[in-house]
A = this chain, B = another copy of it.
């Protein structure tokens, strides 16, 4: 059993994404061999890449204000407490549209956190 504060979770570099930080809150280093729970902060004006991949995302908004872009490029507003499920291979990105950091949990199968 591992009990952890967010402040104690390891930061992982995000090359080419200076406006995003990522922490591995629960992952293989904790013994979690199937599922990884990451915590992202996107700076005001920032965005995750509009991309797709062969694994899903389970997301919960924690702080800030933003939008998620769907496969048609349509923006859906998000506020803290909202949950988002992104299917395998579904194009998506998260954009910060507010003045504070956009913060969210993003859970993936272990193959999604290389």
Residues of A bordering B, CB below 8 Å? 1-6, 9, 25-26, 30-32, 34-35, 37, 56, 58, 60, 68, 70-71, 76, 78, 81-87, 90, 92, 105, 107, 109
Contact = CB atoms under 8 A, between A and B. Distances in A.
In the complex, the count of this chain's copies comes to 2
Secondary structure of the A side of the interface? Answer: strand
Contacts of A26: 58, 83, 85
11 contacts: A1-B70, A2-B85, A3-B76, A3-B83, A3-B84, A4-B82, A4-B83, A30-B85, A34-B56, A35-B109, A37-B58
A5 B109 contact: no
A86 B35 CA distance: 12
B68 A1 contact: yes
